[in-house]
A and B are shown apart, each in its own frame.
Chain A
Amino acid sequence: MAGAQAGSTRPMGSGLLKQIALFGGGLLVALLLDFTLDKAISDSSIRQLLMMAACNILVALSLNVINGMAGQFSIGHAGFLGLGGYSAAVVSANLHEALGGGEATFGKSFIVVPVSLLVAALLSGIAGLFVGLPSLRLKGDYLAIVTLGFSEIFRLVIATAQIGDKETIAHAWSSAGSPRGFVHAISVMITSLGGQNGYAGPKDAGVPLYAGPFWVVGLAFVLGVVAWRLKFSGWGRALRALREDEIAAAAVGVDPTRYKVTSFVISAVGAGIAGGLMAMNRDGTPIVQPDSYNFQASFDAITMVILGGSGSVTGAAIGGVFVTFTVKAIELLQSTSAVQALKQRFESLDLNALRMIIYAAVLIALMIVRPEGLLGERELFQKKAPSPAKAK
């Protein structure tokens, strides 16, 4: 009986003070980074790498809700990221104009970033609801195809828009009385997103890059804690139970329908925020392009989750960082003189393809050695289960 009452599954302890300290500390670090990172690290590509890593942690955390905790298999995460990215880019660019343009200052970011991310999260969440609905009837591969379909449709609708039409959205809508006019107005809207060339604000002046380290690192931290709490909450427990045995979960009162759909919505909201942050990232590029949200992006996200251990919050974070750094390492390798010399001789040499080989090799090795991923479902910083010997 010993140990039956003691302890709880919440690994971090739930003292209110401890939590306030945790959040305050995390946000303070993020705030400090915002002002010091530029000076501390002069190489902008390294700053970009660190910010990308933080964004990718969010990508992995959000996908982990569906692929890890709910045990569904989504291969269309890029669609949600893209929806978030485009929404945030459009909202922030227009809001920036409305605020008078100029520098993207830290002060103004407190208006622009929350509003943009809210819109991004909302739209992604709605998309998550619609993609989640088929999950009630479809499982495994079939559901995966639905998610892939969603993300490819999203990307291709934007990428294949015929640009050159200079009509303004407002004008198109004003004459949108008939069904034909309505369709026309929609197509003008999509066209205004810049097609294959990407979206760079209403006047092509670039998407204002408001999200400095404070926002990126701060949100990665806050949402990381949220993801952790979610996993060990009653909701997360029920969701994981559903993954393990649907009949048994239903038999104890867990409604599969509600849980599956909400898990999709929550995951999509997270992806919307991650995509939005990437689009507005201060050290990123001031343009969002459909090709950033292709299948490769979804696959990267899956790699992060599987690598770290499906269902593990800290594992997802590790996976996010690993994938980011792999990409960077290959870029560095590309720029070495030896590779450059080879490139002179073989023009088609592109080491970016190497990335897929590395991922594939790592994943295969992992499936052999540790099929459950680096951490499995466990967490770093979690109280260990007592060994069976000790339990007796």
Chain B
Amino acid sequence: MRTAHPTRPRRTSADGKPLLSLEDVQVSYGGIKALRGVSLEVRSGEIVAMIGANGAGKTTTLKTVMRLLPLSHGTITYAGEMVSGLGPEELVSRGVSLVPEGRAIFPNLTVRENLEVGAYLHKDAKTMRETIEDVTALFPRLGERMKQEGGTLSGGEQQMLAIGRAMMARPELLLLDEPSLGIAPKLVQQIFAAIRRIAEAGVTILLVEQNTRLALQVSHRAYVLRTGEIALSGSSAELAANQEVQAAYLGG
């Protein structure tokens, strides 16, 4: 029996240095500042959540880390290297994968093809086959639907596919953007169980999630974003107990 773990990360040692760090990152859309100087750290092996209201800059932060948006100020360091000047494909090859908001699977490609595109940087047939096995072990549903077009899957299944596709790149840092958005509660449970398993296998996770309760349950630490700035940060347990957070995001 092969391990059900989805990945074999290349760097797992928790030497105390952050795997990812953002320093005073500022991003603007046109004239509007979306991020007004965000600094945060993700250490190896952690699950870190970012919570906050709509428009606070959570998705922008993830896209910026992935180098899909230009920085106007600040630096991003990954595994000790400055990555602010690189393109997304270089981030992928360094071990960062993004599961975009709203799933963004490729609807006219089959499930298998979606996964194969994800393995864009690990193309050799053997690695590809093994990684697909790992992903289908994580999400058996996908294994049943390999030849279906991605667009024919249900919302939850598409989210599984989006995560599976990101896992195909064998990341050491997984960026998850709103994995529970618009998905049936039962499937949300399954997806979060899979996220926990991915983390147990040694993948570091930075999670953006509008379901604050769920986010604080699954994560070790969390940052609260408010209008493009970090308003609060701390261990997830602390934040869950914080009155301000309770009032603003946990419904009392």
Contacts and interface: CB of A to CB of B under 8 A. Distances in A.
A255 B86 CA distance: 12
B100 A253 contact: no
Contacts of A391: 144-145, 147-148
Interface of A: 1-5, 7, 9, 234, 237-238, 240-241, 244-245, 247-255, 311, 377, 383, 385-386, 388, 391-392
Contacts of B104: 245, 247-248, 251
B125 to A, nearest CB: 9
A301 B121 CA distance: 35
Contact of B88 (A245, A253, A377): A253
Contact of A253 (B113, B120, B146, B162): B120
B136 interface: yes
A244 B118 CA distance: 14
A4 B89 contact: no
A13 to B, nearest CB: 15
Nearest to A376: B108
Contacts of B166: 251-252
A3 B105 contact: no
Interface in B117-151: 117-118, 120-121, 123, 129, 132-133, 136-137, 140, 142-149
B22 interface: no
B88 A250 contact: yes
B116 interface: yes
Contacts of A385: 110, 147-149
Contacts of B118: 252
Given A252-B118, A386-B147, A240 B106 contact: yes
B47 interface: no
B112 interface: yes
A187 to B, nearest CB: 43
B98 interface: yes
A383 B147 CA distance: 10
A385 B93 CA distance: 32
A386 B111 CA distance: 12
B109 A252 contact: no
